[in-house]
Structure 1
Amino acid sequence: MDMKERKNLILQGSMYKVIITLAAPIMLSNLIQTLYSLIDGIWVSKLGSIQFAAISFVWPVMFLFISIGIGLFIAGTSILSQFIGASKYDKASQYASQLIAIAVVCAVCFSFVGYLMSPVIINVMGAKGDLAHYSEIFLKITFLDMPFTFLFFCFNAIMSSQGNTLTPTILSSISVIINAILDPIFIFKFNMGIAGAPVATIISKALLAGAGLYILHKSTSKIKPSFKNFSFDRNILNKLFKVAIPSAIGQSGSALGFIILNGFIVSYGTSTLAAFGMVNRITSLIMQPAMGIGASLTAIVGQNLGSGQLERVKEAFVKALKLTISISILGCIVLIWQDNEVVNFFIRSKDDNLVISEAVIYLMYISFSMPLMGIFSVFQGIFQGSGHTKYSMNMEIGRLWFVRLPMILLFKYLTTIGSTGIWISMSSSNLIICLYGYYLYKKGGWQEKIIRTND
């Protein structure tokens, strides 16, 4: 399907077909990425529960840094899709060039600062002993893949804004397969231990970014980034950051909250932290279809708003909700039915039975809120696609900082239920924030255009 056919489908086709066509590759890509994360965790867990806990411990730190890249990806997809909906391809190409350039500058700076600051970050987070040692090793090396990650974000934004979610999926799938093959080689064959996992990731992401740039250069797409006589355009950068910054704040605020959350969780012991990390990976695997549907809305909403079809945007929202809730309920049933079997399959190291028992309890609580997690993804999709990322920011930050963390503190200091308070807080916060998202949707502020496509 070429760009013209994809555009006609998004603007005129059956909405269920549009959502499934765009969401299916995203689902597959996210599924493969999550499977890799699980595989990565399985290989590292063979080293021991402390090494596995270290990965979970530093994940929010990396997410904090790449949140700017995610913000740029969301801004790029939203703005470019609106230009495409209005058939302003020259403008879209100009924005794409600026997007790539600023992403590279940010990524190089973050890699340098992050690598040097890793020991300080780990110390501030409160890790001690072996947890601190392994966390620092993993974090320092992981920072080095940031330029490649940001470059692929840009490639993904340019492709996704055109409705081409398949090409990024194919590339990321190949990258994940390479990563999965290299993991045991570097971890065990080369005897690198926990350091082998991020080294394998750097190699696979470098190949991924290189392939993306090559495709952009060779493709016949109407969006063609160019760096001939390039200079930064303040006006374009201002518009990109106007959309990117709220999203980045939302993502980074969420990541920072998870850093603090990890601090609370580790106070219950590394077993609870390891259980938290593994169950989050399991639920992420089950939630990929719902998350893919939410992500597909970005291009659907952007192109239809760009062409002035507001009622079609509302239709996309309602039908995305129906699909997401149905899939999430099915996943919820499976996890509750087979909770022990699922946990024991993914936690291969049996050196700490407390990890398994904690994971089973958390899985039960979080499974009941899975439909709410799907609804949350749909709200994020419509707010990000319209370019009103301040609403998605409010939902991201509000869920963690104003609901989840305060609830955890109340359970920790005012009750004696222990780590169960964390699991109850995780599920309850999803319900409260979805009610807030519905309020924002009905209020209608997201319908206002954030960029004049005829500028």
Structure 2
Amino acid sequence: MASEKIQKMRDQILNGPIEKTLLVLAGPLIVNNLVQVVYNITDTFWLGKLGREALSAPGTVWPIIGTLMALGMGFATAGFAFVGQYIGAEKYEKANRSAGALYSLMLLFSTATAVISLAVLPYALHFMKVTPNVYPYAKAYAQVVFAGVPLSFAFMAFSALMRASGDTKTPVKISMLTVGMNIVLDPIFIFFLGLGVEGAAIATLLSNGVGAIIGARILTSGKASLHLTRETLKPDFEFYSRIFHVGLPSAVGQSANSFGFVVLTRVIYGYGDVVYAAYTITTRLVNFITSIARGVSMAMGTMIAQNVGAENYDRAKKIAERAMVINFLIASSAIIIVGLFRVPIFRVFLDDPAVIAQSEYVLKYFLISVPFFNGIFVVVTRTFSSAGHTKKSMILSMLRLWGLRIPLSYVFGYVPAIMLSLTVLGHEVSIRIPLAELFGMSSKGVFFGMGMSNFLAALVAFLWFMRGSWMKRIIEEK
């Protein structure tokens, strides 16, 4: 029976060795993340053969896609917390009802998201100050991807539900299949059929469609830990309201976060598409190496949700703390590797001296802060959201991007200096503080501001985590 599968995994999550359980849950997720990043790197590799402009197109439009999809991700996060906590509390029938309500809500919501995405696309690209060279490529890519948003939402819901139940293997198997399809289809659509950037987007859409269909079939077959039926898939407005109540802060936070990257893209493009191309390649390389850390964080989220549901708060805190140490060490190793092999790796993707020169600044001023972001900030925000305290994760995310990253990147990238007037012993003293001038009024200042935002946000997140105000479950007591 499905409940027996859930019960077995629940016992390990609540009582088993923390590191071993983290590894069991994280293993498939790490593989999935690595496979996903391999696809992104493959995509970058093929598009790089078309030139700098084509290579920059996916990275340019993903902040727009993410802004709208983040709304769905916020509700998926809420559904994940409810399902995981119901399982932790051994309320399996409610877990199934919650899963069905979440899935049906995501299908309805995604259709509206796709329409809105297509409508705002031209305005968003102009707002981001996308250069004329990149604009046609970015627009062509985005139009195809937006059409497949409902498919992406469906698979997003499927993956969240499987993880909440402790099943991290099934979504990974499907992801490996779809990514494999994507890797094979990319060169066919891009070069053989001559569709260029649009071909890469079509390959993504078709692969996502296969994943969504398989995921839906598994959830409705009765063979998975959770079982969706016509009854559980019926609109449940009472539960919708609960998802909105818990999920809205997360949705708003993630959307604001994604829109912040739209603004940040505008800031980076202020120094041209060479700088943005360097930023795109470098971050994708780091994503490849830090996939292990992200897998650990996702596995930790499952353990947090179920332990909070069972009111094992001390264990939940220990799980998060150990995840912080593991992720910090992994991310630090990632930065060292990228730093050592930066130039030869870049030449594989784009043998452009100007882009390679810019990559040094991305590494020196920004990427050194990644261990604090992955090791502390990501773990804390996922801990808060998995416990159902989405307002806390929303505040942290908005603080990092809107309160720190965007202002600091702009100030150190574009504001030459500021003047301060002070009265000392009755005499007025003027002090000139150089800002962007420290970095030669160049892209260095932008990346320095981005790095500082990660250091400061990690500090705030850690202090809030230690207060322990997140250690309270959100499901009803009865």
- Same fold by TM-score greater than 0.5: yes
- Give ranges in structure 2 of 5+ residues lacking alignment: 417-435
Within 2, Cα distance between the matches of 1:429 and 1:358?
20
Within 2, Cα distance between the matches of 1:423 and 1:173?
34
- Compared CA separation, residues 56 and 308, structure 1 to 2 (3 A): same
Segments ≥4 residues shifted beyond 6 Å: none
8 Å contact from structure 1 (residues 3, 221) kept in 2: no
Within 2, Cα distance between the matches of 1:139 and 1:331?
30
Within 2, Cα distance between the matches of 1:223 and 1:394?
32
Residue aligned with 2:235, SS: coil
Q: Does 1:178 align with 2:181?
A: yes
8 Å contact from structure 2 (residues 129, 270) kept in 1: no
Q: Give the AA of the match of 1:388.
A: H
Q: Give the AA of the match of 2:356.
A: I
Residue aligned with 1:191, SS: coil
**In structure 2, which of residues 450, 453, 478 is the aligned counterpart of residue 426 of structure 1?**
450
8 Å contact from structure 2 (residues 86, 95) kept in 1: yes
Q: Which residue of 2 aligns with 1:452?
A: 476
Give 1:7 deviation, angstroms.
1.2
Q: Which residue of 2 aligns with 1:56?
A: 59
Q: Which residue of 2 aligns with 1:413?
A: 415
Give 1:129 deviation, angstroms.
2.4
Within 1, Cα distance between the matches of 2:100 and 2:47?
39
Q: Give the AA of the match of 1:250.
A: G
My pick for the range that moved more, 155-164 or 228-237, is 228-237
Give 1:116 deviation, angstroms.
3.5
Within 2, Cα distance between the matches of 1:287 and 1:164?
22
8 Å contact from structure 2 (residues 167, 225) kept in 1: no
Higher relative contact order, structure no. (Cα contacts within 8 Å, ≥ 6 residues apart)? 1
Q: Which residue of 1 aligns with 2:399?
A: 398
8 Å contact from structure 2 (residues 387, 474) kept in 1: yes
Within 2, Cα distance between the matches of 1:370 and 1:230?
41
8 Å contact from structure 2 (residues 164, 302) kept in 1: yes
Give 1:219 deviation, angstroms.
3.7
Q: Which residue of 2 aligns with 1:277?
A: 280
Q: Which residue of 2 aligns with 1:145?
A: 148
Give 1:217 deviation, angstroms.
1.8
Within 2, Cα distance between the matches of 1:53 and 1:178?
22
- Compared CA separation, residues 296 and 5, structure 1 to 2 (3 A): same
Give 1:38 deviation, angstroms.
1.3
Residue aligned with 2:148, SS: helix
**In structure 1, which of residues 326, 329, 342 is the aligned counterpart of residue 329 of structure 2?**
326
Q: Give the AA of the match of 2:358.
A: E
Within 1, Cα distance between the matches of 2:452 and 2:27?
29
Q: Which residue of 2 aligns with 1:371?
A: 371
Q: Which residue of 1 aligns with 2:359?
A: 359
Within 2, Cα distance between the matches of 1:285 and 1:247?
26
Within 2, Cα distance between the matches of 1:223 and 1:129?
49
Q: Give the AA of the match of 1:369.
A: S
**In structure 1, which of residues 287, 291, 299 is the aligned counterpart of residue 290 of structure 2?**
287
Q: Which residue of 2 aligns with 1:113?
A: 116
Within 2, Cα distance between the matches of 1:229 and 1:40?
38
TM-score if structure 2 supplies the norm length?
0.91
Q: Give the AA of the match of 2:273.
A: T
8 Å contact from structure 2 (residues 22, 300) kept in 1: yes
My pick for the range that moved more, 323-332 or 39-48, is 323-332
Give 1:222 deviation, angstroms.
4.9
Give 1:124 deviation, angstroms.
3.1
8 Å contact from structure 2 (residues 309, 475) kept in 1: no
- Compared CA separation, residues 453 and 163, structure 1 to 2 (3 A): farther
Give 1:170 deviation, angstroms.
0.9
**In structure 1, which of residues 436, 447, 450 is the aligned counterpart of residue 460 of structure 2?**
436
Give 1:453 deviation, angstroms.
5.1
Q: Give the AA of the match of 2:241.
A: N
Within 1, Cα distance between the matches of 2:275 and 2:44?
16
Within 1, Cα distance between the matches of 2:232 and 2:144?
35
**In structure 2, which of residues 76, 87, 100 is the aligned counterpart of residue 84 of structure 1?**
87
Give 1:338 deviation, angstroms.
2.0
**In structure 2, which of residues 257, 265, 268 is the aligned counterpart of residue 265 of structure 1?**
268
The alignment's C-alpha RMSD in Å is 1.7
Q: Which residue of 1 aligns with 2:33?
A: 30
Residue aligned with 2:415, SS: helix
Post-superposition Cα deviations, 1:120-154, rounded to whole Å, max 9, x if no partner, equal 33233333423221111111111011111111111
Give 1:176 deviation, angstroms.
0.4
Within 2, Cα distance between the matches of 1:27 and 1:380?
19
Q: Which residue of 1 aligns with 2:429?
A: none
8 Å contact from structure 2 (residues 87, 95) kept in 1: yes
Post-superposition Cα deviations, 1:371-413, rounded to whole Å, max 9, x if no partner, equal 2122222112211110111111112111111111111221122
Post-superposition Cα deviations, 1:175-222, rounded to whole Å, max 9, x if no partner, equal 001001000100100000110011000100000001111111224345
8 Å contact from structure 2 (residues 96, 232) kept in 1: no
Within 2, Cα distance between the matches of 1:36 and 1:273?
20
Q: Which residue of 2 aligns with 1:336?
A: 339
Within 2, Cα distance between the matches of 1:41 and 1:398?
31
Q: Which residue of 1 aligns with 2:426?
A: none
Give 1:159 deviation, angstroms.
0.7
Within 2, Cα distance between the matches of 1:391 and 1:16?
26
Q: Give the AA of the match of 1:38.
A: I
Within 2, Cα distance between the matches of 1:287 and 1:296?
15
Within 1, Cα distance between the matches of 2:231 and 2:201?
35
Q: Which residue of 2 aligns with 1:66?
A: 69
Q: Which residue of 1 aligns with 2:385?
A: 384
Give 1:101 deviation, angstroms.
1.0
Give 1:4 deviation, angstroms.
2.6
Within 2, Cα distance between the matches of 1:292 and 1:186?
31
Within 2, Cα distance between the matches of 1:360 and 1:32?
26
Q: Give the AA of the match of 2:219.
A: L
Within 1, Cα distance between the matches of 2:267 and 2:160?
35
8 Å contact from structure 2 (residues 218, 224) kept in 1: no
- Give ranges in structure 1 of 5+ residues lacking alignment: none
8 Å contact from structure 1 (residues 93, 224) kept in 2: yes
Identity of aligned residues (%): 29
Within 2, Cα distance between the matches of 1:114 and 1:339?
35
- Compared CA separation, residues 258 and 377, structure 1 to 2 (3 A): same
Residue aligned with 1:136, SS: helix
Within 1, Cα distance between the matches of 2:218 and 2:296?
25
Post-superposition Cα deviations, 1:77-124, rounded to whole Å, max 9, x if no partner, equal 111010001111111111111111110111111112222332233233
Q: Give the AA of the match of 1:426.
A: M
Q: Which residue of 2 aligns with 1:123?
A: 126
Within 2, Cα distance between the matches of 1:24 and 1:41?
26
